[in-house]
Amino acid sequence: MKAMLFGGATLSLLTVSAFGADLGPNPRLNPPPLTPFSWTGCYAGLHAGGGMGQSDFADTAGVLAPQAGFSAVNLDTSGYMLGGQIGCDYQFASNWVIGIEGAAAGGDIGGSTGVAQPLAIPGDTANFKETTDFLTSATGRVGYTWDHWLLYANGGVAFADDRYTAIGTFTGAAFNLAGVETRLGWTAGAGVEWALGDDWSVQLEYDYYGFGQRSVFFIDNTGTGISGPAEIKQNIQVLKLGVNFRPSFGP
């Protein structure tokens, strides 16, 4: 009797073992290993930002001062920019990311100010205005990531499209001086980016644009024929919030 019971129990165990082997490993008991999140891939997005800067005008050649009655202006600027960016990142050594990005934005970062004319007569006025309506850049960046967060610094070349006017009267004669230029400079900044999910991320970034001192050619549009160069030194700072679409996000 005992032998029959023992034999039956052994047969039951063998049957259960064979049935378990047919089922294979239980995914609940043995889940597959998680693949780490990766920032490697390309992206495109939009951004909006606010900016401020400073422009310093100096008529070092002395050509415009006799017409406008002033030779120097210091102007603070402010405004907004709306634009887009496109780039690619590569994550390596577990937590480090390098990338490249091109960005372009249009808007209005500018300002105007009244200018004192030392030799003016009663009724004379002078107003100087500067507007930056386009900013572009090509930058490289390096960052450190922990999971869905990326902290980075960037730097590269930048361009600004600028317009200047000086309008008023001096010794009773009207003047309307105007100058335009596309200015080459450099940019450097830092930011933080957060991956929302498989395809989207948001970023907050600060950028400093240094355009140095450049010679700008002014023409008087009142028909006097007076024209000449002036030296203008310019810098701009922008804080922007952006959103990116990253179709190759994830593991």
- Sketch the domain layout of the chain as residue ranges: 38-245
Q: What is the pLDDT of residues 10-50, one digit of tens each?
A: 434 334 444 444 445 555 555 555 567 889 999 999 999 99
Average pLDDT over residues 143-172: 96
Q: How far apart are CA 8 and CA 129, in angstroms?
A: 100
Average pLDDT over residues 152-168: 98
- Stretch (H or E) spanning 222: none
pLDDT category of residue 195 using cuts at 50, 70 and 90: very high
pLDDT category of residue 198 using cuts at 50, 70 and 90: confident
pLDDT value, residue 15: 45
pLDDT value, residue 32: 58
Tokens 């100087």 identify what position?
A: 128
pLDDT category of residue 147 using cuts at 50, 70 and 90: confident
Cβ contacts of residue 159 below 8 Å, gap of 6+? 134, 135, 136, 137, 182, 183, 184, 185
pLDDT value, residue 94: 87
pLDDT value, residue 197: 76
In the predicted model, is pLDDT for residue 148 greater than 70? yes
Q: What is the pLDDT of residues 61-110, one digit of tens each?
A: 999 999 999 999 999 999 999 999 999 999 998 899 999 999 999 999 99
Q: Which fold has domain 38-245?
A: Porin (2.40.160)
The CA-atom distances, in angstroms, between 69 and each of 124, 128, 142 are 9, 12, 49
